Chains A and B, each alone.
Chain A
Amino acid sequence: MQKAFLVDSDKCLGCNTCAMACKNQYHQDKGILWRQVREIGHEEYRTDQNNILPTLVWYAKPPKVEVPAERYYASIACNHCEEPACVAVCPVQAHTKDPETGICKHDQSLCIGCGGCVKACPFGASKFNEQLGKAEKCSMCWERQADGKLPACVQSCPVEAIQVVDIHDPKYANIGEKNPLGLDYAVEAPTKPSTRFIHSSMPNKVHRL
C-alpha cells in the first residue's frame, strides 16, 4: 500500500482551510506550516512566494497552460515519497517509512537537528524549526487515520479537493498527474513522490473588458 494525497486543483478554491486545519490539529510554531497552498500562474511560480521550495535544478519549467495568477492553486504537504530522501539521509532514523501504509513518519524526539532532511527533501516538505533546532513535517495524520478519521486537512476541505488514495491499488494506479502544473519537478524527482494532481482548467468562456 502507498497512501497518497490526490490534489484536485480544478476544484481547489485556494481557501487555505487545509493549511490552517493542520495547524489547528497540531499547533505548529509560528512561521511553520506543514501544508501550504501555492498560488500558481504565469511565471509566478518561479519566484515562489511561499518559499515552500528550496532552489533546485528540476523545478523550473514553464507552465503548459495559462491560468491567471492567483487563480490556480495547488495544496501541497509532504509527498510521502516512495523513495523518500528524508528517510535515506537521516542519521538517527528519525524519519521512517511505514511499511504498511507508505507514510513517512517523523519522530521529533529522536531528531538531532542536523538539517539533513530539510536539505535533502526536494519539495521543502521537511521544515526546520529554528527555536527547537529540530525538523518537522506532515505525518499524513497517521494517528487520525489509525483512529478511523480522515487527515485534518482532508476532512476540512470544503470541496473534497484533497483526498487520500492508495496509488498501489489498481483502481487508483493511473489517477491524476505526477506533476503539479507549473511545478514539473515532481516527475523527475528521484524520490518518486506519491502525490497525484488533477490540473486546473479555465472557464469555457471568459469575457474580459
Chain B
Amino acid sequence: MSYSKEKVEGILNDGLQRRSFLKGLVACGVLSVLPGGRLLANESLNTKIPYLGEKAYETFRNACPRNCYDTCSIKTFVKDGVMQFIEGATESTFTNGGCCVKGNSYVRRVYSPKRIKYPMMQVGGKGSGSWKRISWDEAIGHIGDKFLNMKKEDGHLLGAALTKYSGNFGITHYGVEGMFSSLGYTTRFGGTPCWPAGIDAQNFDTGNMWCNDPEEMKDSKYIILWGVNPASNSIHTMKYIYEAKRKGAKVIVIDPLFTETASKANEYFQVKAGSDGLLALAMAKIIIDNNLHDKKWLKKNSHGYKEFEKYLKTVSVKKASEVSGLSEKLIHEIALGFAKADPATIWIGYGIQRHTNGGSMVRAIDALVAVTGNVGKYAGGARYGHLHTWGFNYNAMTNPKPKGSIGYTASNAVMGDMHGADSAKKVKYSDRYLNINKTAEGILTATDPKIKLLWVACKNPMAQDFDRNKLIKAFNSVDTVIVADQFFNETTRWADIVLPVTTQFEEYDVNVSYWHYWLSINQQAIKPLHEVKSDLEIASLLSVYMNKKEKGSCTFPQKYDSKKLTSKEFNKGIYEQFGIKSWKELENGPVKAKAVIPFADGKFGTPSGKFEFYSEQALEYGHTALPEYLETRKPYDKYRLTTLHSRFSLHSQFQNIDWMEDIHPEPFVYINPEDATYKRIKTGDMVSVFNKQGLLRVKAKITDNTPVGTFMMYEQWYNNSIYNVNELVDDTSSDMGLFKTGAPGVALQDTYVNIRKV
C-alpha cells in the first residue's frame, strides 16, 4: 500500500469539514494513522488498512447495545486514538470470538462520513431540509428555554413528551428517562412495540419472564424452534443447537416460513400463521391422552391443571390439523416425540406473539412445556426471554422531581420497556403515559395539555412505527421536536433540532442480554468524534443551563463522567450474581452469571405460587383464564404479509452503513412461485404491494421459502430507497401487553395485502 501525496491531498480536499477534522487529528498527534484517518474519507478511496500484529494496538472492552438476543462482548483494537477493527471477546463462550454481520460493521458506523457531526437546527421548518449548524450552547439554550417557558405557561411540564426505545439497551441509557424525570412530571410513551403479548403471557403463567441459559440447549434432547429464526437473528445460539443435534437430539422448526434455521433443522413443519396456539393445545391433549404427562410435577407445581385437562377435552386434533395444515399423524409424532424426550425445550420466537391472538398462543406453548414437566429443568423450559440479570441500580434514572413539580396522578402507572416485566424492580411514576405503539394518535389526541415538545432518543419512529402519514402530521403539530441520533434519517427529517450522539465506543456503559447470561463492561475506546455527546452528557448540559436560569429546575447531575455514572449502576446483587468483587474486573473480559435453572425450586411468582394453567390475573385483564384457543384476525385483503427481522439490520440500524450495502443492496418482496405465476410476476419485476394503509413499490423475488398465499418482506429503512414495510402495517393490537408493559403490542403478522405488477 502506498500513501501518495496526491491521495492524501485528495482526502484533505474532500470537503472543508473533513479537512478541519483531519487537522484536528493531526493536532492530537494522530498523523501517523493516516490509514485510520482514511476511514473518514471518501467512501471509495483506498481506505484499506493492514493488520499490524496484536501488539500494535491498544485494546478496549465493548459490548453491542442493540436490541438483539446476542448482546456480543466486543474487543476493540485502537491505534493512535483511531478504532481499527473489532473482534468478539473470546472470554465469552457465547460470543466466542465472533460478532455478527452487523457488529462487524461497527468501525464503519463510527467513522461513517454520514454521521451527524454537530447540533443542527432545521431553520426552514420540519421536512424543509434546510439546516443550520448551531453550537451546543445554542441548542441547549433553545431547549432549556422551551422547558422553562412551558412551565411558566402551564405550571407543569406535561406538555413535554419523551419517546425512547431500544436503539441502545445499555443500562446508563436509562438516563434519558432520568433526564425527563429530573425536570418534573412529563408525558412518556409507555409500553413496548416488540414483545408485550409474550411478556404478559409468561407472567400470567409463571409470574415472571425467565428462561434457561441458551448454552444449556446443547444438552437438550428435543428442541422445538417455534416461530424463531436464530440462524438469522441469534447466530451465536446456533452452535449450541448444532451441538445438541450432533449428540443426537432432534431439532424441529415450526414456522410458516422456510427460514434459514428451518433449513438446518432435522425436521421442518410449515404451519399456517396464527395456528400455533391450537397446535400446542392439540399436542398437550395427545400427550395427556397417551398418559405421558408428568403427573408428579403437575401435582406439585401447577395450579388449575384439572381445569386445563377438562378444557382440552373440547380441543380437537382434527380441527388443529385443519387449521395448522399439519396432518394429525404429524401432530401426534411431534407431540409424542417431545413428551418422550428428556429434557425437551421449546424456544418461542417473538413472531408468534405478533398476532391478535399472540399472547394466548404463547400461553398454550407454555402449557405444553409444563404438561411434560420440562419447566424448572436443566436444558428444558419454554424459552422466550429474561430480565434476570438486569438488577442494576438504574441510578441514572432515579432523580427526584424538582420541588413543587405538578403532574398526573395516574392510578395505573406504566413502566414501559425492559424492566416493565421485572417484578423485582418497580419504580412509581406519575407522569402522563401514552401508548408507544400509537405514537401518532397519542400526539394528535393528547389534550390538556397538548404536546408541545417531543424528545426522541434511541429510536427512529418514522421508520419503525406504524401509519407514517399520521406520524408526520403528529410531528408537525408539535412546536419543537428534538431528535438525538447518530445519523440523519427519516425521523430527523421531521425534527426541529438534531443532537449528534455518541456510539458505544465513545462512552462508558454496561450491558447484559435478555437471552444469555453474560455481563460486559463497555469502555470508552476513543474520544467522541466531531461534536457528538452522549445522551447523558446532553442531560447534564441541560441541567447546568436550566439551573443557571432557574435554580432547582432540574435535578439531573450537572457533572458528567460517563465512567463514574456507569460504576454507579453496580450493586452487591450484581456482584454476587456474577461472582465478581468490583466492576473493574470486567476490564479483563465479560463474566457470566452463576447458573440458575428458572423455577427449579418450584417457586413461581404467580398469586398461587405455582405454574398457573388457570390464571385469575389473566381473567382480570380480560382474557380467558385458561390458555384457550382463539382465532386470529380475519383476513382483510388477499394475501398475508409477514414482516421479519433481517440479519442485515436491527430495525432501522446498520442498513444505512455503506459496507452493509455491499452485502445487502436492495429490498425485495418474497413471493411463492404459485402466487407469482398467478400474478405473472418474475424475480426482478417491480411490483406494488398495497392495502388499505398504503402502497410500496419493491422488486419481487420468487421463492418457495414462503407458503402459498403469504408474502414476506423484511422490516427496515433502506438508505437509498424509501422502502419501509411499516407503511403497510396498521396498528392493530395483539391481545396482551396491558398487564406488564402497560400497552398491548402490535399484531404485525396479521397484515394483509394485495399485489400488482407495475
**Taking the nearest CB of chain A, how far is it from the CB of B102, in angstroms?**
8
Check if B270 sits within 8 Å of A68, measured CB to CB. no
Closest A residue to B259 using CB positions: A71
A26 to B35, CA, bound (A): 10
Instruction: With A16-B648, A207-B268 as known contacts, state yes or no: A27 contacts B86, CB within 8 Å.
Output: no
Check if A23 sits within 8 Å of B330, measured CB to CB. no
**Taking the nearest CB of chain A, how far is it from the CB of B648, in angstroms?**
7
9 shortest interchain CB distances as A-B pairs: A20-B104, A71-B263, A156-B98, A13-B231, A205-B267, A24-B104, A158-B235, A16-B101, A143-B51
A interface with B by C-beta (< 8 Å): 11, 13-17, 19-21, 23-33, 37, 67-72, 108-109, 129-132, 136, 141, 143-144, 147, 149-150, 152, 155-160, 200, 202-209
Instruction: With A15-B647, A16-B648 as known contacts, state yes or no: A26 contacts B49, CB within 8 Å.
Output: yes
Give me 19 other A-B pairs in contact (C-beta within 8 A), A23-B105, A24-B107, A28-B48 excluded: A11-B242, A13-B264, A14-B260, A15-B101, A16-B101, A16-B647, A17-B100, A21-B98, A26-B51, A29-B46, A69-B704, A143-B53, A152-B87, A157-B98, A158-B98, A203-B262, A203-B264, A204-B267, A209-B708
Q: In residues 230-281 of chain B, which contact A (Cβ within 8 Å)?
A: 231-232, 235-236, 238-239, 242, 253, 258, 260, 262-272
Check if A209 sits within 8 Å of B270, measured CB to CB. yes
Closest A residue to B262 using CB positions: A203
Across the interface, B48 reaches (CB within 8 A) one of A16, A27, A130, namely A27
Check if B703 sits within 8 Å of A15, measured CB to CB. no
For B258, list chain A residues within 8 Å (CB): 68, 71, 206, 208
For A130, list chain B residues within 8 Å (CB): 44
Check if A13 sits within 8 Å of B104, measured CB to CB. no
Interface residues on B, range: 35 or more
A16 to B39, CA, bound (A): 22
**Contact sample, A vs B, 7 pairs, CB 8 Å cutoff:** A13-B264, A15-B232, A30-B661, A70-B703, A70-B705, A108-B1, A143-B53
Across the interface, A13 reaches (CB within 8 A) one of B38, B46, B47, B235, namely B235
Across the interface, A141 reaches (CB within 8 A) one of B51, B107, B265, namely B51
**Taking the nearest CB of chain A, how far is it from the CB of B169, in angstroms?**
20
For A160, list chain B residues within 8 Å (CB): 239
Check if B86 sits within 8 Å of A24, measured CB to CB. yes
For B265, list chain A residues within 8 Å (CB): 203
A70 to B701, CA, bound (A): 10
**Taking the nearest CB of chain B, how far is it from the CB of A203, in angstroms?**
5
Q: In residues 634-667 of chain B, which contact A (Cβ within 8 Å)?
A: 647-648, 658-664
Check if A203 sits within 8 Å of B663, measured CB to CB. no
Check if B51 sits within 8 Å of A144, measured CB to CB. yes
For A158, list chain B residues within 8 Å (CB): 96, 98, 100, 235-236, 238-239
Q: Does B54 contact A (CB under 8 A)?
A: yes
Across the interface, A15 reaches (CB within 8 A) one of B49, B107, B231, namely B231
Q: In residues 69-112 of chain B, which contact A (Cβ within 8 Å)?
A: 85-88, 96-102, 104-108
For B2, list chain A residues within 8 Å (CB): 108-109
A156 to B269, CA, bound (A): 31
Check if B231 sits within 8 Å of A131, measured CB to CB. no
**Taking the nearest CB of chain B, how far is it from the CB of A196, in angstroms?**
19
Check if B239 sits within 8 Å of A13, measured CB to CB. no
Check if A156 sits within 8 Å of B268, measured CB to CB. no
A29 to B113, CA, bound (A): 13
Q: Does B576 contact A (CB under 8 A)?
A: no
A167 to B298, CA, bound (A): 56
For A141, list chain B residues within 8 Å (CB): 51
**Taking the nearest CB of chain A, how far is it from the CB of B633, in angstroms?**
19
Check if A69 sits within 8 Å of B705, measured CB to CB. yes
Closest B residue to A108 using CB positions: B1
For A203, list chain B residues within 8 Å (CB): 253, 262-268
For A149, list chain B residues within 8 Å (CB): 54
Check if A32 sits within 8 Å of B231, measured CB to CB. no
Q: Does B45 contact A (CB under 8 A)?
A: yes
Q: Does B402 contact A (CB under 8 A)?
A: no
For A109, list chain B residues within 8 Å (CB): 1-2
Check if B100 sits within 8 Å of A68, measured CB to CB. no
For B1, list chain A residues within 8 Å (CB): 108-109
Across the interface, A72 reaches (CB within 8 A) one of B48, B263, B268, B648, namely B263
Instruction: With A15-B232, A68-B703, A203-B265 as known contacts, state yes or no: A29 contacts B47, CB within 8 Å.
Output: yes
Instruction: With A26-B49, A132-B46 as known contacts, state yes or no: A68 contacts B705, CB within 8 Å.
Output: yes
